[in-house]
Structure 1
Amino acid sequence: MSGAAFIAVDWGTTNRRTYLIEGADVVATERDEMGILSIPAGGFPKAVAALRARHGGLPMLLAGMVGSNRGWHDAGYVPAPAALPDLAAHLVSPLDGIAIVPGVCRDVGRRQDVMRGEEVQLLGAIEAGLAPADALLCQPGTHAKWATMEGGTLADFTTAMTGEMFALLKAHALIGGEMAGEVDADDAFCEGVAACADEDLLAALFGVRAASILGRRAPGTAAAYVSGLLIGSDCRARITQPGQRVHLLANGLLARLYSAAIAIAGGEAVLVDSHAAFVAGITRIWDIKS
């Protein structure tokens, strides 16, 4: 381990989290809403310089959407199966003292998939011993990632547009008007998870409208029910055997929702600290590159 201090940034679409790391220790951290969509055209060098200046001008290692074709500099993709040394070997350096971690892609047959940012957390979870070397990992979100880890490598993965589909339905679909109320792992949510096992998803979604018209759904419960339908379908597609463990990189509401859905689908959720996983992954990449 090099032990040299550096600045690590998990830079996503809508927010970014910065870590000042010395050895294996995080000595300072900050989070803001300066995701890549908040940076004006040509503004990344200035934004990076300001962030670097706030943390002593140390070298930086960036991960996430900052390295996408919509970010600062396209860092490309490493094909799966991939491990942390593969990521370290393909870092891209747009400026002196600054490197960007590549994403991971799957491009076999008719199924293509990509991830950017999640690979550091998924592999970092294995590096930190937060999940075993052979495991099924899930990182929920707008685009939920399900990763198969084999021998400590990211062997395969699938992305599901679960969170984005919920947002699109609520904002633009016919059933959006019915999707009122808070979403939590309550009875309505669990009802949706159970229903997706017996009905096809598209028909079940239209049923939200019909149930509202016919007075068969209590006001304020449809949003949780639809969330249950979507997350339940997502989980049922991945859990292939009773009691299957899913290492879940989530906290708060998403942890509650996916834990409940995984249990109803016959699996067992094991919560993993995603921030600790990121720090372990990015630190290992830094040490390899150094």
Structure 2
Amino acid sequence: MSGAAFIAVDWGTTNRRAYRVEHGRATAAVRDSLGVLSVSGDAFPAKIEALRAELGPLPMLLAGMVGSNRGWVDARYVPAPASAADLAAGLVSPCENVFIVPGVCRDLADRPDVMRGEEVQFLGAVAEGLAPPDALLCQPGTHAKWAIMHDGKLADFTTAMTGEMFALLKDHSLIGSEMQGEGKADAEFRRGVEDSTRADLLSSLFAVRAGSVLGRRAAGTAAAYVSGLLIGTDCRARLKSGQTVYLLAEGRLARLYAIAIAMADATCIPVDSETAFIAGITRIWDALS
């Protein structure tokens, strides 16, 4: 189907991005908060037709959590190493002219792992020349993904529950009342990143409480510090001194990870995630026979 126009949808848990793609470029877009958790199983066909009403009567290629067991149809996983052609071979079609991209798994006893949606962006970043064929890529978030690319394929990856751990600590832990607001890219964040070098995360987290009780921690600084501890721990577990990481993020999260990566004596190169998604989903579309 190389060259044919289609609608590409990055359909996540809480958000959705849809694009009309023509000749490898997005010519129109719809962005909203209609994630899969807000759509019942039998309502997906109607949502598909509503997108077509806005973007055109075209075939559709969907990626992300829409293909999970919490989405429309479980599209399963293909094993790493995986290419765009491997993903195209594993597409699932829930109805005519609609296809769902499978996720990628690491099905090994020592550390099983799965991803769904990020694989399109990682493969697209390499395909578009935003990252080299052999590279380390990172997409931070609720579940931060670190991908090792080899010869342009997604060879291996690791998921870290960095963002989810921050949310759990803030909402359900003893130190949560200290963690007002979001982590900022300030001196307290840097201090948290530095303290992550102790490799004693659990003790450092309790010290947030102890520091407050003893009057050693200023009010309003805990969120940034804890963010630094978690992101610093995440980055130091993945990086070697002098390494380069290609970062698919934007805004505050991009700034936080860029600081932590630099403090780990590594180099951070930003990658536009939307451009990477369009490139990756186009490669999968072109691989359809």
2:192 is aligned to 192
Residue pair 2:9, 2:17 contacting (<8 A) in 1 also: yes
Residue 135 of structure 1 pairs with residue 135 of structure 2: yes
Gaps of 5+ in 2: none
1:158 is aligned to 158
Counterpart amino acid of 2:189?
Answer: F
2:115 is aligned to 115
Pair 181,49 (structure 1): closer, same or farther in 2 beyond 3 Å: closer
Residue 236 of structure 1 pairs with residue 248 of structure 2: no
Counterpart amino acid of 1:280?
Answer: A
Give the CA deviation at 1:261: 0.4
Give the CA deviation at 1:39: 0.4
Structure-2 separation of matches of 1:255 and 1:29: 23
Give the CA deviation at 1:53: 2.3
Q: How does 1:81-96 map to 2 (within 5 A)?
A: 81-96=81-96
Residue 251 of structure 1 pairs with residue 250 of structure 2: yes
Residue pair 2:41, 2:71 contacting (<8 A) in 1 also: no
Counterpart amino acid of 2:62?
Answer: L
Q: Deviations over 1:163-200 (max 9, x none)?
A: 00000000000000111244221100000000010250
Structure-2 separation of matches of 1:206 and 1:246: 31
2:76 is aligned to 76
Runs of 4+ in 1 over 3 A off after TM superposition: none
Q: How does 1:1-290 map to 2 (within 5 A)?
A: 2-240=2-240, 242-290=241-289
Moved more, 173-182 or 141-150: 173-182
Residue pair 1:181, 1:222 contacting (<8 A) in 2 also: no
Q: Secondary structure at the match of 2:29?
A: strand
Moved more, 173-182 or 261-270: 173-182
Give the CA deviation at 1:43: 1.2
Residue pair 2:182, 2:224 contacting (<8 A) in 1 also: yes
Counterpart amino acid of 1:40?
Answer: S
Residue pair 2:19, 2:55 contacting (<8 A) in 1 also: no
Counterpart amino acid of 1:275?
Answer: E
Counterpart amino acid of 2:213?
Answer: I
Q: Paired residues, what number?
A: 289
Q: Secondary structure at the match of 2:149?
A: strand
Q: Secondary structure at the match of 1:43?
A: helix
Counterpart amino acid of 1:145?
Answer: K
Give the CA deviation at 1:243: 1.4
Counterpart amino acid of 2:93?
Answer: S
Q: Deviations over 1:89-129 (max 9, x none)?
A: 11111101000000000011221100000000001000000
Residue pair 1:182, 1:220 contacting (<8 A) in 2 also: no
Structure-2 separation of matches of 1:63 and 1:25: 17
Residue pair 2:236, 2:264 contacting (<8 A) in 1 also: yes
Q: Secondary structure at the match of 2:169?
A: helix
Residue pair 2:120, 2:281 contacting (<8 A) in 1 also: yes
Q: Secondary structure at the match of 2:175?
A: helix
Counterpart amino acid of 1:84?
Answer: A
RMSD: 1.0
Q: Secondary structure at the match of 2:287?
A: helix
Give the CA deviation at 1:55: 1.6
Structure-2 separation of matches of 1:156 and 1:73: 25
Pair 286,41 (structure 1): closer, same or farther in 2 beyond 3 Å: closer
Gaps of 5+ in 1: none
